[in-house]
Structure 1
Amino acid sequence: MSELFQHRARKRFGQNFLHDAGVIHKILRAIAAKEGQHLLEIGPGQGALTEGLVDSGAKLDVIELDLDLIPQLKWRFGLKPNFSLHQGDAMKFDFSSLVATPEDKLRVVGNLPYNISTPLIFHLLDHASLIQDMHFMLQKEVVERLAAEPGNGDWGRLSIMVQYFCRVDYLFTVGPGAFNPPPKVESAIVRLVPYAEPPHPAKDHRVLERIVREAFNQRRKTLRNTLRTLMSVEDIEAAGVDPTLRPEQLSVADFVSLANRYSETHPEAEQGPSA
């Protein structure tokens, strides 16, 4: 098969193909796909994970952007009755088209290129009601930010907004040698599980995004300074938050409290763009 389909990883697609059998098995074990489930693999590449996902018996949809990889994927998996291939850009894909009933939840899997990982995660979170869980291979520093806690230097906008919607589990680290070509950084596997209801619900999550964005635009300054164009010191205090704290010291619940106070005092305020 390798002679039939020679493919060089493309830098513009951020391609680093997973080839380490031990790592592949560890990822598949973490996903633990079962017959009757509905999987969505984003960027299957040369099919390193796809084979195990198909063999689980679960229904598997895959989205691949690189046209040159389509023939190889079709050749390997095209005759499998539980396999469906979609050529296209996951950032523009209508995930709801894959779900037949409200009970049909997607389990999303992907080895995501660094350059699209954050926007793609936010795009998927816009469809969180369709998703049971997500398992991603990402750059290690991104996973550290996703799984960070308040007071940690990695704690920021990405941590807060993803943890607002999801439980985040840092599963394990993957070294560069597991890929071809080997990247210059370490990678890690993360599991994101969307909440049926956020533990700390915001009146409007767009307001939460705006508050968090403003707060971290100048992360070394205190809230009284970084939020001064949006909230007075009195409003920050009314939300139960100390205005002398820096944004990295606040929990998700603290930011939700600030956002809800803003929503109460600005009921008709025009919201900024989504994160």
Structure 2
Amino acid sequence: MTSPRTLLTAWNIQARKQLGQNFLSDPNVARAIVTHAAIGDDDVVLEIGPGLGAITLPAAQAARKVIAVEKDARITELLRTERLAAGIDNLDIREADILRTDLGAIGRETNAPMIVMGNLPYNISSQVIVQLIHARHYIRRAVLMLQKEMAERICAGPGSKTYGRLSVMLGYCAQTAVCLQVRAHQFFPAPKVDSTVIKIDFIDPPPFPADDERLLFRVVKAAFGKRRKTMRNAVSQSDLKLDPATCERLLIQSGIDPMQRAESLPVAAFVRLSNQIASNG
């Protein structure tokens, strides 16, 4: 693995802070991430933001195919050169913005449940996670490197101050686990915070299926939109258009104390409430 500093200097490229470009410089971490992804020789990997190829190239050696989506044209050119130098012919590099990419279309194209990998910039992490949830029928597993704070939020359980919308959405349809910690000095340029690698294994069907999944996610968003308020107040003051009396009745029918706050409720409680709202019309 050529060091990021050497590659960037050779190509006269400066990392762009606005793109969250901090490139992994430790090959041992890269190998550990690929190991946690448990890639088989018939697997298709979708990598979000391959950067300089620290994870991309070892993943391509293990997988049937890797599709790497990179927004920065300077980096895609460099990565194509690295691909040729490594003699890799199963790496498809696509210059695109992942937030404008149809993951379902890629899944239908590959005709196989994908393994998603990526080092996600903090400013798009939440959006990408939601994308993966909506496209999860095409995804078997995701192994993602996130800022430590974001990883804690995703893996948090009920009762935690970091438990929130993403915790519930993922808890509904996946199992999450922390794989390893990555220190700031293991990147170039070094970010200001440490990172955490997490694994997301999607579950199909979910253990507590919602009658209307879109409604469930709206309910979760409403509940955490005003997380300091009680469930009755948070939900009745949202775009769900439920008056306080109706909201209280539905909460009680769902086995939820209207005075509870969202952060204290398990995933199953949100599903029960969503189903009650759906049956109420």
TM-score (norm 1): 0.91
Match of 2:56 among 32, 50, 68: 50
Question: 2:3 is matched with which residue?
Answer: none
Question: 2:226 is matched with which residue?
Answer: 218
| Cα distance per residue 1:36-66 (max 9 Å; x no partner) | 1111111110111112111214311111110
Moved more, 146-155 or 219-228: 219-228
Decide whether the 8 Å contact of 1:169 with 1:192 is kept in 2: yes
Question: Which residue identity lines up with residue 112 of structure 1 in the other structure?
Answer: L
Decide whether the 8 Å contact of 2:108 with 2:138 is kept in 1: no
Once the 2 structures are TM-superposed, how far is the Cα of residue 92 of structure 1 from its aligned partner? 1.2
Note the 1:164-179 alignment, pairs <5 A: 164-179=172-187
Question: 1:237 is matched with which residue?
Answer: 252
- In 1, the alpha carbon distance for the partners of 2:38 and 2:224 equals 37
Identity %: 35
Question: 1:26 is matched with which residue?
Answer: 32
The answer as to 2:146 corresponding to 1:138 is yes
Decide whether the 8 Å contact of 2:107 with 2:139 is kept in 1: no
Question: 2:115 is matched with which residue?
Answer: 107
| Cα distance per residue 1:201-242 (max 9 Å; x no partner) | 111122112222222222222222222342432221111112
Q: Post-superposition, which runs of at least 4 consecutive aligned residues in structure 1 deviate over 4 A? A: 100-103
Once the 2 structures are TM-superposed, how far is the Cα of residue 247 of structure 1 from its aligned partner? 1.1
Once the 2 structures are TM-superposed, how far is the Cα of residue 85 of structure 1 from its aligned partner? 1.0
- In 2, the alpha carbon distance for the partners of 1:11 and 1:262 equals 44
The answer as to 2:80 corresponding to 1:74 is yes
- In 2, the alpha carbon distance for the partners of 1:70 and 1:101 equals 21
Once the 2 structures are TM-superposed, how far is the Cα of residue 166 of structure 1 from its aligned partner? 1.5
- In 2, the alpha carbon distance for the partners of 1:98 and 1:234 equals 43
- Identify the structure with the greater helix proportion: 2
Decide whether the 8 Å contact of 2:53 with 2:79 is kept in 1: yes
- In 1, the alpha carbon distance for the partners of 2:204 and 2:122 equals 28
Moved more, 76-85 or 1-10: 1-10
Q: Which runs of 5+ in 2 are unaligned?
A: 1-5
Does the residue aligned with 2:60 lie in a helix, a strand or coil? helix
Question: Which residue identity lines up with residue 156 of structure 2 in the other structure?
Answer: A
Does the residue aligned with 1:232 lie in a helix, a strand or coil? helix
| Cα distance per residue 1:230-275 (max 9 Å; x no partner) | 2432221111112121111100000111111011112xxxxxxxxx
- In 1, the alpha carbon distance for the partners of 2:142 and 2:54 equals 17
Question: Which residue identity lines up with residue 37 of structure 2 in the other structure?
Answer: I
Note the 1:229-268 alignment, pairs <5 A: 229=237, 230=242, 231-266=246-281
Question: Which residue identity lines up with residue 49 of structure 1 in the other structure?
Answer: I
Decide whether the 8 Å contact of 2:45 with 2:63 is kept in 1: no
TM-score (norm 2): 0.89
RMSD: 1.8
Once the 2 structures are TM-superposed, how far is the Cα of residue 27 of structure 1 from its aligned partner? 1.2
Residue 63 to residue 163, structure 1, CA distance change in 2 (3 Å): same
